[in-house]
Amino acid sequence: MSTSAVAVSEPRLERALSLSSCITITTGAVIGVGLFTTGSAAAVSMGTSAIIATVIAFLMVLWPSLLYGEMGAALPLAGGTYAFAKRAISYPVGIFCSWNYTVAQIGIAGAEALAFANYFGCLLNFLGYTSPVNEKVLASGLIVLFVLINYFGIKAAGKFQNAFMFFFWGMSTIWFFNVLKDVDFANFMPLFAGIPHEVTSMAQLIVAVWWCFAGFETVVGMGSEIEFPQITIPRALIISPFIVYGVNALFYWFLIGITPLDMVSDVSGATAPFASAMNAAGIVGLPAIILCLGITFGGDFSTMNPCITGPSRYMYTMSKDGCFPKVLGKLHPKYKSPYVAVLTIGVIVLFLIWSGSIAIIAAMCAFSQMICYMIGFLSYIFLYKKEPGLSRPWVAPLGTVGAVVNLIVYGVVMVLAVDWSALPYNLVLCAACLAYYFFEVRNRPMPETAKELEASELVLKAPDAEEMASLNKEYRCWKWGAVIVFVVASGAFALGTLL
């Protein structure tokens, strides 16, 4: 069967995601509840020194983002790191990566859904009401909502993602202006005063802040659904880290500025540091409502959406490759979504929420996600060795050096970030994955149709002059927006240290 025959006889994923959607998917996957819990708790405990941890975390994702930008432009395929690893290293390594990625995303999806239920309850309390609905019911309803959105295809998922992210940014801006008058510059300590003397303690705080940057590679998992991916993917991954840095730094700045110095220990130990800080500062009413609205219907929603979209694409691609049941590789005839994979992800998350197992899966996230990143860096190195002639429309600066450096850095971070109580479950997952490959996949050759379909996905259309002008205009708007946010956030901390 020829490549063109495969393209005609089988439904194809639709290339419909623009640069804007790629950026909101990437930033939305990163900017979640972690910013308002563990990240902010670490930031307020460090005071002004939080900007140092934020810069380090930013640098820890900037170079990897560029590496993924290069691989995503060269191999814009569904499945992201799985697609890279199976081609660059080996098929079993790709499968191993995919299992870990899927578990990480399922854990984040369930945890975000339950966090939404908690923040929604806080929102109702601020409005003078009590939630009559159990948190598991609310979380389940949210999962069903995002399964439906993704069932209707990538166009719907992209449009909703833009709406969620812009709502979050809009509500955040309103909140910033509402509490600006309450910022006390006396709360900003000297720049290095909040750095712990123990190296391990400092490393753990950096890891807590870095966790608010994790997920930067999400969009490459949807490579087969991005318009002009050879241009769009690297641009999205250049811009997104700067936006995430700016948003995180601004929230940390406001949190430090409104937290009275004698309440720092209480706020840093709270499960909802922003709510505790506002209560300590006497900021009640409208600002609290605005913040909760932004977190629940913006931050939570923008994280939940990619958590369903991403793993369903990994599952779909593995089905096409013959290592998962064929039914998971079915596309909706109208919406071109891998609807069976989407529904399957939803059912798994619902089961874990109601069984109470989601806490275990969520605790496994850090280890599983680190494994995927390290496999991604190895894939970059091996891809140059195995396919030096591969067309690379965009090349990361000092890419091989960056892959080696980040492989070491992320290995250290994995040791520091791992939840030791969850490690046995991670090891069981890894063993189960290897056993699955050995007994179920090892002697099953990858279908020729899968190879031909992948080859057809790499035949990319080049934009015409009008399309290129539109792409460049959109890129300039996002680039300047990212620069402004980056400069404002950095300037705010500089001002805090000077006054």
- Give the helix/strand (H/E) hosting 371: helix 365-386
Q: Look up residue 487 and give its amino acid.
A: V
Task: Write down the mean pLDDT value for the chain.
Answer: 89
Per-residue pLDDT for 46 more than 70? yes
Measure the CA–CA gap between 196 and 42, rounded to whole angstroms.
11
| Rounded CA separation 180/254 (Å) | 8
**311, 31 in Cβ contact below 8 A?**
no
Judge contact between 119 and 296, C-beta under 8 A: yes
pLDDT for the residue numbered 357: 81
The burial class, CB within 10 Å (0-12 / 13-18 / 19+), for 186 is exposed
pLDDT surpasses 60 at 159: yes
Greater pLDDT, 266 or 375? 375
- Is the distance from CB of 456 to CB of 224 less than 8 angstroms? no
| CA proximity to 259, closest of 176, 174, 183 | 183
Q: Is residue 2 pLDDT above 60, yes or no? A: no
> Is residue 222 classed as helix, strand or coil in its secondary structure?
strand
- State phi, psi for 383 to the nearest 5 degrees: -65, -35
Please report, for residues 223, 403, 434, the alpha-carbon distance to residue 92 in angstroms, rounded to integers and kept in the order given.
21, 21, 8
Neighbours of 433 (CB within 10 A): 18
CA atoms 362, 32, 34, 212: torsion sign = positive
Could you tell me which of 129, 134, 60 has the C-alpha nearest to residue 373?
60
User: Between these two residues, 111 and 229, which has the higher pLDDT value?
Assistant: 229
What local confidence, expressed as pLDDT, does residue 4 receive? Answer: 45
- Radius of gyration for the chain, computed over Cα atoms and rounded to the nearest angstrom: 22
DSSP reduced 3-state for 176: helix
Tokens of 214: 């994790």
Cα torsion at 156, 157, 160, 162 (round to 10°)? -120
Pair of tokens at residue 411: 């290995």
Contact 223, 16 (CB under 8 A): no
**pLDDT, tens only, 308-360:** 999 999 999 999 999 899 999 999 999 999 999 999 999 999 998 998 887 78
Tokens representing residue 225 in the block:
């659904």
Phi and psi at 141, nearest 5°, equal -60, -35
- The C-alpha atoms of residue 264 and residue 145 are separated, in whole angstroms, by 38
pLDDT of residue 169: 95
- Which residues neighbour 303 within 8 Å (Cβ) at sequence distance 6 or greater? 28, 29, 31, 32, 33, 108, 112
Amino acid in the structure at residue 41: A
* pLDDT at site 408: 95
Q: Is the Cβ–Cβ distance between 83 and 374 less than 8 Å? A: no
Output the CA torsion sign for 426, 428, 431, 433. Answer: negative
CB atoms within 10 A of CB 409: 17
- In this structure, of 62-76, 212-226, 252-266, 356-370, the range with the lowest mean pLDDT score is 356-370
Report the distance separating Cα 14 and Cα 74, nearest Å.
18
Are residues 256 and 187 in contact, defined by beta-carbon separation less than 8 angstroms? yes
Nearest to 153 by CA among 77, 218, 225: 225
Angstrom distance (rounded) from CA 226 to CA 290: 33
**Residue 18, Cα to own-chain centre: how many angstroms?**
18
Global pTM reads 0.92
Other CB atoms within 10 Å distance of the CB of residue 451: 14
Answer yes or no: is pLDDT of 1 > 70. no
Span 58-103, pLDDT tens digits? 999 999 999 999 999 999 999 999 999 999 999 999 999 999 999 8
Q: How confident is the model at residue 179 (pLDDT cuts 50, 70, 90)?
A: very high
User: What are the angstrom distances between the C-alpha of 315 and each of 24, 311, 375?
Assistant: 23, 6, 18
Q: For residue 199, how many other CB atoms are within 10 A of its CB?
A: 8
Contacts of 123 (CB under 8 A, 6+ apart): 289, 292, 293, 296
Longest CA–CA span in the chain (Å) reads 72
Assess contact for 312 and 48: CB atoms under 8 A: no
Q: Residue 10: what pLDDT?
A: 66
Please compute the mean of the pLDDT values over residues 8-17 and round it to a whole number.
79
